[in-house]
Each structure stands twice: as structure tokens, then as C-alpha cells.
Amino acid sequence: MRYRIGESPEQAAATSFDQGMFTSITVLSLVMGIGFIFAGLRSGHYWMTFWGSGLSISSVGYLIYVMFFL
């Protein structure tokens, strides 16, 4: 990756990702996790229920961390 003259890699990386992007991805992951739970229970694929539960729990944990500690 090329940088402009006078621009450091740390500055470019800091501007490309912000907290709003991570929060929106987390909310999308929470919705997908809930969908996986319902789809796994309905179809009998319990690995999907397990995967969706883990995704939902980690998404909620991250959202709580962002709201109270960041």
C-alpha cells in the first residue's frame, strides 16, 4: 500500500476504521446470530444453534463493553 508524502501508516489506518463501523457490524452479527438460533432449532441442526448462540453472546458482550467501558 502506498502512502502520500508526509503521511504515516498509523494515520491512514486510523481514518479507515471507526467505532461506528464496528458497532454496525456487531449489530448485524447479533441479528444473524438470532436468525441462526431460530433456523437451527427449526431444522434440527444443533450446530447452527450453538454457532448462533455464541455469535449472539459475543455480540451482546461487545455492545455492552462499548456502551459502558469505551
pTM for this entry: 0.75
Domain that holds residue 55: 19-69
Q: Is residue 49 part of a domain?
A: yes
Q: How far apart are CA 53 and CA 4, in angstroms?
A: 44
Longest CA span, the chain: 57
Q: What confidence category does residue 70 fall into, taking pLDDT thresholds of 50, 70 and 90?
A: confident
Segment 14-20 shows an average pLDDT of: 71
Reduce the DSSP state of residue 41 to 3 states and report it. Answer: helix
**Higher per-residue confidence, 20 vs 47:** 47
Segment 12-36 shows an average pLDDT of: 86
Question: What's the start-to-end Cα distance of the chain, in Å?
Answer: 30
Predicted local confidence at residue 19, as pLDDT = 86
Q: Is residue 31 part of a domain?
A: yes
* CB-based contact 29:59 (threshold 8 Å): yes
Percent of the chain with pLDDT over 90: 67
**Domain total for the chain?**
1
